[in-house]
Amino acid sequence: MSSCTRVALVTGANKGIGFAVTRELCRRFPGDVVLTARDEVRGRTAVQQLQAEGLSPRFHQLDIDDLQSIRALRDFLRREYGGLNVLVNNAGIAFKMDDPTPFDIQAELTLKTNFFATRNVCTELLPIMKPHGRVVNISSLQGSKALEDCSEALQERFRCDTLTEGDLVDLMKKFVEDAKNEVHGREGWPDSAYGVSKLGVTVLSRIMAWQLNEKRKADRILLNACCPGWVKTDMAGDQGSRTLEQGAETPVYLALLPPDATEPHGQLVRDKVVQNW
């Protein structure tokens, strides 16, 4: 591969929304599309499925919970393409409503993957994003609902324009700690670990967009969070009202924003519309 070949990458892409986003990018993105998955067998099976449709994604293993795995991917992208043009952070987990796992464990594991691991992917891959790059973090309106269900003091902190990445990390750690000590309700947190994790992703997206403005404004990289809606996936079950293709629409729209676009940036987007939260 030459470093002038453009490349888009989707995490957690072997099924669900990630798979649908990968399929659509294979159809519409002018360059290579890399499908990543934690499980190599499932990932390669997904690639074969798309190949059977006449599409040609590449595969690379990625476990976002493993920093070495993220760095191996970064090195691959740097070596093969000289960087990255489009990153869609889709990998994530959710416990089912009736899961008997204790809340503190749910909080720890959900935040570990959905917030901390997603942040690690951004930390490692943002420095190799090429000019006019596009970063899409799959969040959820569950995050906005979690914010509404937080105490006023917490809401104020999350909405604060001067909140730093370090402050946000501390807040996310505090939620896990408060859940462990069975005081999260008293400390003003809601009962949804998934919601808090996605609130973290939305706020992180805003902060990282600011950082890009400060450090690399001339490169016009756009970074946003989006809500794909309630989609029929393993995560949502048949409760979802949207097809995978409908769920992929907004992430793909943000991934393919034209090179001269200056917005949205640092926003939460649903149905291609910026959300107030």
Q: 53 in a domain, yes or no?
A: yes
Q: Which domain holds residue 11?
A: 7-96+112-140+195-274
Residues 172, 118, 20, CA angle at the centre, nearest 5°?
130
Closest C-alpha among 236, 210, 239 to residue 223: 210
CB 277 within 8 A of CB 146: no
140-144 average pLDDT score = 94
pLDDT at 233: 59
- At residue 189, the 3 state secondary structure works out as coil
Strand boundaries in the chain, DSSP class E: 7-10, 32-37, 58-61, 84-89, 129-138, 222-227, 268-270, 273-274
Summarize the confidence of residues 246-252 as an average pLDDT.
96
pLDDT grade for 234, boundaries at 50, 70 and 90: low
Is 172 part of a structural domain of the chain?
A: no
Average pLDDT over residues 158-184: 98
Question: What is the bridge-based pairing of β-strands 273-274 and 268-270?
Answer: antiparallel
DSSP strand pairing (58-61 vs 32-37): parallel
Residue 151 lies in a domain: no
Q: How far apart, in Å, do the first and last CA atoms of the chain sit?
A: 42
In a domain, residue 224? The reply is yes
User: Which residue type occupies 220?
Assistant: R
Query: Do the domain assignments include residue 176?
Result: no
- pLDDT score at 237: 58
Distance CA 188, CA 180 (A): 14
Look at residue 94 in the predicted model and tell me its pLDDT.
95
Query: Can you give the CATH number for the domain in which 50 is found?
Result: 3.40.50.720
Number of domains in the chain: 1
46 token code pair: 């997904």
Residue 253 designated active-site? no
Binning pLDDT at 50, 70 and 90, where does residue 4 land?
confident
User: How far from 108 is each of 3, 104, 116, 172, 215, CA to CA, in Å?
Assistant: 39, 6, 10, 10, 32
Residue 150: CB atoms within 10 A of its CB come to: 21
Task: Please indicate, yes or no, whether the overall pTM of this predicted structure exceeds 0.85.
Answer: yes
3-state secondary structure of 237: strand
In a domain, 105, yes or no: no
The DSSP 8-state label assigned to residue 233 in this structure reads: B
Distance from C-alpha of 7 to C-alpha of 32, rounded to nearest angstrom: 5
Question: Of the given ranges (4-8, 68-72, 176-180), which has the lowest mean pLDDT?
Answer: 4-8
Residue 180 placed within a domain: no
On the question of pLDDT at 230 being above 90, the answer is: no
The reply to whether 167 falls in a domain is no
Q: Which of 69, 194, 268, 270 is catalytic?
A: 194
Bridge partner list, 227: 270
Radius of gyration of the CA atoms of the chain, in A: 18
In the predicted model, what is the mean pLDDT of residues 75-104? Answer: 97
